[in-house]
Structure 1
Amino acid sequence: MFEYVATLLSLGFAAKPPLSALRVSAYLDTIEQGPPDAILGIAQAFRENNRPGKVNLAVGAYRDDAGLPFVLPSVAAAEARLLSRGEKKEYAPIEGLPGFIQLALKFAYGDDCAALKEGRIAAVQTLSGTGACRLAGEFYARFLPKGTAIYVSDPTWGNHINIMQLAGLEVRKYRYLDRATQGFDFEGLLADIEAAPAGSIFLLHACAHNPTGVDPSSEQWRTVSNAILRKGHHVLLDCAYQGFASGDAEADAFAIRLFLDEGHSLLLAQSFAKNFGLYGERVGTLSVVCADAASAGRVLSQLKCIVRPMYSSPPIHGALIVNEVLSNAELRRQYYGDCAGLADRIGTMRLRLIEELAAVGSTHDWSHVKNQIGMFAFTGMTAAMCDELTERHAIYLTRDGRISLPGLNSGNLAFVASAIHEVTNGKPIGSAK
């Protein structure tokens, strides 16, 4: 070996300097610092703050009354069953686990869904709702006419805009929140549906609108559906809170089943992060309603073509948990009870927050907090008020005034209410008329 190296050196094959010395990575020096995520950046700032009594009302994850992460008993039981049988770790197919997909679609569209029985819904397992939206954006960009715009609610979940723009779609907004009342701008939405070019895409939240918690009534959903049909628009329903909104998964599926029954050009992005507490498992589906089984087969083939170079196939553990819960009658009943319990605690926090605000002397009308639904409350506080809550009281929330109600508990409710009163006292909030 030594003789070989000596020969190379004698022939001029001297050792070259390390690649770093050649500055092949000099381009990295020109890269600017990226902005922190509007929500995850807040969570990081919360973790880095050592102040006692700090409160995180930003993250969209359920916490129990002790402020701790909570695993649904039905989910824990399902996981125990899986482990007792010896879960296999083989790759899933490109489209995901077939059993899980079918149960997930029945959960959303209904056990007796005719379209499912006819085989005309194409679906793939996704990396939770975020992945489902990303695939939907890519699908639309490939197969709708170039220049088709997607309309998102004002406001919407912040990641919707980034996802759709990166998929190559032009993002526009439709009116949704009446900021004077923190209620639903029904007439504004209808006007924007009418004004949008025929064949546009409307991204709607199936239930528990994020971030506002403001949902249309059943009759308003019907009117919205008819308006969209008249203009020939496409619909992407984002469903992240089925069962977690009202506590009744069947009731929370109203808009999904209405839009299916009325014959919309419909895609559904489905997430099991919130309603099953599977945040880190990344479990979801994207489904496309087609005219017939042959069309569904072609659509599925194209969805697989999108998935394969993107992430190849989805993870299996979380999907197996959902499959276990929804396929077992006992666990399914338990799960529905779990959801009702979660929704009940969140509803209680809404009422108690309003009571505590009144108790500390707030004269603002906070009734909009009671009227909203889901895990978030859109308070109407300004960005300056939110900044003050964080800087002076170490209460972390998004700067649009949205708070995550599961972050409230018996130990911090009075403190939070007092701090909110302090920063809003004598100042107008969004609900002021």
Structure 2
Amino acid sequence: MSNIDTRLNVSPVPPDEIFALNGAYAVDTHPQKVSLGVGVYRTDDGKPWPLPVVQKAEKALVVEDDLFRHEYTAIEGDVPFLGIARDLMFGFEGKQSEEDAKARIGSVQTVAGTGANHLGALFLAYHMKPTNVWLSNPSWANHQTIWELAGVPRKTYPYYHAATRSFDFEGMMSSLESEAQEGDVVLLHACAHNPTGLDPNKEQWVAIADLCERKKLFPFFDSAYQGFASGSVEEDAWAVRYFFNNKPDMEMCVAQSFSKNFGLYGQRVGAFHYCNNRASVSIRDVVVNNLCHLIRGEFSMGPRVGCTIVKKVLNSDELTADWHEDLKVMSSRIKAMRKALYNELVRLQTPGTWEHIIQQNGMFSYTGLTPKQVYALKDKYHIYLLKSGRASISGLSQKNVAYVAQAIDDVIRNES
């Protein structure tokens, strides 16, 4: 390094674990290899599943042959899409009138959920200057990177109780109650918590909302799995809608992704919604204006093709009904694979308790496996999951679930 002539001050950063794991899986030639790392939906044959409703929309768009389909949109994005995305997220079935509710929300298009999280973090760092952002322990690893790059100090609140493999509600509330300061941001997963698969129940969500309101904390929702987690877009948006409708004097925001629920992983479809309190609706357009200032300097406007597909589907009652059926297909298969893995581990009398696998929700399971056990699964059985023990349930199938369960049983018994 001493012979390199450069003005750069750079040091190696650790590779992203998920993408590194996926790369190792890709070059593995073992016939029984299993990928439980990357968070994408797979069929029981282990193949990608372009949603049938998305394929219908794509065919219709080809026939329409819109001459403007590759043109620029606005800096805030495709405006009709933003209205659809907002309505899907918030529902507007609360006590406020629909017009008043919509007047509180400023929306812009983003580069998927990651872009929405990043834009929101940057906007708050510039214009609210929070002392800290509170992330769950554990959380999606990219949350740490996003807020680090935004320059906001990160703190964590307890979320996972390892001994019981359950949501640590008491730990979360106690930590935020005693340590969080007025104006701090609290990052909340709207549903299907990544990586644990553990969500607060509705009573707990109510208590979290009350705490945020009382301590004047700023809720930042990351909604990556609406409709994918339970099969119901209403159920998966319950927490966001409760906060918005029942705490109208509290500001909040939502990062919304369409990667999982439409299977548009590579199309990067997302939105960011800033919710003013009901006394500040007059500044909504100023908020959007400032968000656009950041967008213009970073990527000018959101991608067009993916949001056009979403817009095509959700503007049609028939296609929307088809989409709801596709969501049920995906969520049902995930639930079935959870049950199948649990049944196999029980049949094998694998040491430990495994009820958490079927109690968790969404794409991921925090299995409780140790890093040593995870490495053993990869080295001996060619089964790939994160060193934290997080497994992507969509990588399981009727063909490999018994193999995976037997491998887990083996590495646990050999370690004990």
Name the TM-score class by shorter chain: over 0.9
Residue 158 of structure 1 is aligned with which of 116, 137, 141?
141
Contact 1:237 1:256 (C-alpha < 8 Å) held by counterparts = yes
Point out where structure 2 has 5 or more consecutive residues left out of the alignment.
none
Q: 1:178: which partner in 2?
A: 161
- CA gap of 1:64–1:331, structure 2 versus 1, over 3 A, is same
3-state DSSP class of the match of 1:241?
Answer: coil
1:93 aligns with 2:74: yes
- 1:266 corresponds, among 216, 238, 252, to 252
Give, in angstroms, the shift of residue 323 of structure 1: 0.6
Is residue 115–residue 121 contact of structure 1 (8 Å, CA) maintained in 2? no
Match of 1:391 in 2: 379
Following superposition, the deviation at residue 73 of structure 1 comes to 1.0
Give 1:354's aligned amino acid. Y
Amino acid at match of 1:94: I
Q: Which residue number corresponds to residue 188 of structure 2?
A: 204
Residue 99 (structure 2) pairs with residue 117 (structure 1): yes
Are 1:425 and 2:413 counterparts? Answer: yes
Shift of 1:425: 2.1
The equivalent residue for 2:287 is 299
Paired residues for 1:29-428 under 5 Å: 32-87=11-66, 88-110=69-91, 112=93, 114=96, 117-118=99-100, 119-145=103-129, 148-195=131-178, 196-261=180-245, 262-263=247-248, 264-290=250-276, 291=278, 292-425=280-413
Number of residue equivalences:
404
Residues 182 and 427 of structure 1: CA distance in aligned 2, closer, same or farther (over 3 Å) = farther
Distance (Å, rounded) in 1 between the aligned partners of 2:351 and 2:97: 52
- C-alpha displacement at 1:116, in angstroms? 5.9
Q: Deviations over 1:138-174 (max 9, x none)?
A: 01111113x5200000000000000001011001001
TM-score scaled by length of structure 2: 0.94
Secondary structure in structure 1 of the residue aligned to 2:114: helix
Secondary structure, aligned partner of 1:26: coil
Residues 1:227 and 1:29: Cα distance change in structure 2 (over 3 Å): closer
Q: Percent identity, aligned pairs only?
A: 39
Distance, in Å, in 2 between the alignment partners of 1:386 and 1:402 is: 9
Distance 1:140 1:31, change over 3 A: closer
Which structure has the greater CA radius of gyration? 1
Equivalence map 1:4-15=2 (5 Å): none
- Native 8 Å contact 1:190 1:224 kept in 2: yes
1:359, CA displacement in angstroms? 2.5
Verify the 8 A CA contact 1:236 1:266 in the aligned structure 2. yes
Deviations 1:368-388 (A, max 9, x none): 111000011110011111111
- What is the identity, as a one-letter code, of the residue corresponding to 1:201? V
Classify the secondary structure of the residue corresponding to 1:226: helix
Contact 1:346/1:375, CA 8 A, preserved across alignment: yes
Counterparts of 1:333 and 1:359, CA distance in 2: 39
Gaps of 5+ in 1: 1-22, 429-433
Task: Provide Cα deviations, 1:230-262, integer angstroms capped at 9, x if missing partner.
Answer: 100001000000001111111111001011012
> Match of 1:59, as an amino acid?
V
Give distance in 2, aligned partners of 1:297 and 1:100.
Answer: 17
Query: CA–CA distance in 1 between the matches of 2:324 and 2:64?
Result: 24
Q: What is the alpha-carbon root mean square deviation over aligned residues? A: 1.7
How many angstroms apart in 1 are the aligned matches of 2:415 and 2:168? 24
SS in 2 for 1:27: coil
Q: How much has 1:341 moved relative to structure 2?
A: 1.3
Cα offsets for 1:322-377 (capped at 9, x unmatched): 11111100000111111011111100000100111122331321001110000111
Q: TM-score, normalised by structure 1?
A: 0.90
Distance 1:49 1:28, change over 3 A: farther
Change beyond 3 A, Cα 1:402–1:141: same
Structure 1 residues 154-206: Cα deviation after superposition (integer angstroms, max 9, x where no partner) = 00000000000101100100111111111111111111221211221100000
- Give 2:62's aligned amino acid: L
Q: Distance in 2 between matches of 1:310 and 1:68?
A: 34
8 Å contact 2:160–2:196 — kept in the other structure? yes
Residue 80 of structure 1 and its aligned partner are, at CA, apart by 1.2
Partner SS state of residue 320, structure 2: helix
Measure the CA separation in 2 of the matches of 1:426 and 1:248: 41
In structure 2, the CA distance between the partners of 1:30 and 1:170, relative to structure 1 (3 Å rule), is closer
Distance in 2, matches of 1:349 and 1:215, equals 19
Query: Which residue identity does 1:57 align to in structure 2?
Result: L
The structure 1 segments of at least 4 consecutive aligned residues displaced by more than 6 Å after TM superposition are: none
In 2: Cα distance, 1:341 partner to 1:266 partner: 32
